[in-house]
Structure 1
Amino acid sequence: MTLLTAAPAPSVDLDRPRIGFLGVGWIGRNRMEAMLASGRIEVAAIADAVPGNSEEAARLAPDAVLCDSLDALLDQHLDGLVIATPSALHADQSIRALERGVPVFCQKPLGRNLAEVKAVIAAARSVDRLLGVDLSYRGTAGMRAIRERVRAGELGHIHAIDLVFHNAYGPDKPWFYDPALSGGGCMMDLAVHLIDLALWTLDFPAVESISADLFAKGRPLSDRATQVEDLGFATLRLAGGTMVRVAASWHLHAGQDAVIAADFHGDRAGAGFRNVGGSFYDFESSLFHGTAREQLAAPGDAWGGQMAAQWAERLTASPGFDPACERLADVAAVLDGIYRAAGPSQSNNLPSRPRE
Structure 2
Amino acid sequence: MMTQPIRFAMCGTGWVAQMYARSIAAVPGVELVAVHNHRQPSLDEFTADHPVAVATTDWDEFLSAVGDGGADVAVVATPNALHAPQSIALMRAGVHVLVEKPMAVSVEEAEEMAAVADETGRALMTGHMWRFDPEARWLRQEIAAGALGRIIRTRSLSVHTWWGPSGWFQQRALAGGGALADMGVHAIDTTRYLIGDPRPVRVTARIGTYYGDYDVDDTAVLLIDWDNDTTSVVEAGWWQVQCDGPEAATRLHGTRAFGSLFPTLVTRELQSPESGGSTFEERTPPPFDRAEHCDPRLFEAQIAHAADVARGTTSPENGPDVGLTAVRIMEASYRSARTGQEVALA
TM-score by length of 2: 0.84
1:134 paired to 2:113: no
Instruction: Output the aligned Cα RMSD.
Output: 2.7
Measured after TM superposition, the shift of residue 317 of structure 1 is: 2.5
- Structure 2 CA distance for aligned equivalents of residues 100 and 309 of structure 1: 22
Measured after TM superposition, the shift of residue 255 of structure 1 is: 7.3
Q: Secondary structure at the match of 1:342?
A: helix
Unaligned runs of 5+ residues in structure 2 are 270-279, 291-296, 342-346
1:101 paired to 2:94: yes
Deviation sequence 1:49-104 (CA, Å, 0-9, x none): 34443333334543432111332211112222111111111111111111111111
Aligned residue number for residue 156 of structure 1:
149
Structure-to-structure mapping, 1:147-296, within 5 angstroms: 147-217=140-210, 227-254=215-242, 260-274=248-262, 284-290=263-269, 291-296=280-285
Q: Secondary structure at the match of 1:300?
A: coil
Measured after TM superposition, the shift of residue 178 of structure 1 is: 1.1
1:65 paired to 2:54: yes
- Structure 2 CA distance for aligned equivalents of residues 139 and 253 of structure 1: 29
Q: Secondary structure at the match of 1:31?
A: helix
Residue type at the aligned position of 2:268? H
1:21 paired to 2:14: no
Change (3 A) 1:233 1:63: closer
Q: Kindly indicate whether the alpha-carbon contact (under 8 Å) linking 1:14 and 1:317 is maintained by their aligned counterparts in 2.
A: no
- Structure 2 CA distance for aligned equivalents of residues 322 and 304 of structure 1: 14
Residue type at the aligned position of 1:201? L
Residue type at the aligned position of 2:128? L
Deviation sequence 1:198-248 (CA, Å, 0-9, x none): 2222232222221110111169xxxxxx83111110111112321100111
Change (3 A) 1:325 1:94: same
Q: Kindly indicate whether the alpha-carbon contact (under 8 Å) linking 2:84 and 2:109 is maintained by their aligned counterparts in 1.
A: yes
Change (3 A) 1:256 1:146: closer
Change (3 A) 1:323 1:55: closer
- Structure 2 CA distance for aligned equivalents of residues 46 and 72 of structure 1: 11
Q: Kindly indicate whether the alpha-carbon contact (under 8 Å) linking 1:192 and 1:331 is maintained by their aligned counterparts in 2.
A: yes
Change (3 A) 1:319 1:81: farther
- Structure 1 CA distance for aligned equivalents of residues 208 and 330 of structure 2: 15
Q: Secondary structure at the match of 2:33?
A: strand
% same residue: 23
Deviation sequence 1:161-208 (CA, Å, 0-9, x none): 111111024443321111111111111111111111122222322222
Q: Kindly indicate whether the alpha-carbon contact (under 8 Å) linking 1:129 and 1:321 is maintained by their aligned counterparts in 2.
A: no
Measured after TM superposition, the shift of residue 331 of structure 1 is: 1.6
- Structure 1 CA distance for aligned equivalents of residues 186 and 267 of structure 2: 23
TM-score by length of 1: 0.82
- Structure 2 CA distance for aligned equivalents of residues 287 and 210 of structure 1: 28
Change (3 A) 1:169 1:71: farther
1:119 paired to 2:112: yes
Aligned length in residues: 319
Which piece of structure 1 moves more, 45-54 or 328-337? 45-54
- Structure 1 CA distance for aligned equivalents of residues 98 and 178 of structure 2: 22
Q: Kindly indicate whether the alpha-carbon contact (under 8 Å) linking 1:176 and 1:185 is maintained by their aligned counterparts in 2.
A: yes
Residue type at the aligned position of 1:118? E
- Structure 1 CA distance for aligned equivalents of residues 157 and 243 of structure 2: 15
Task: Return the structure number with greater helix share.
Answer: 2
Which piece of structure 1 moves more, 250-259 or 87-96? 250-259
Structure-to-structure mapping, 1:9-48, within 5 angstroms: 15-48=4-37
Q: Secondary structure at the match of 2:85?
A: helix
Q: Secondary structure at the match of 2:32?
A: strand
Residue type at the aligned position of 1:289? R
- Structure 1 CA distance for aligned equivalents of residues 236 and 327 of structure 2: 16
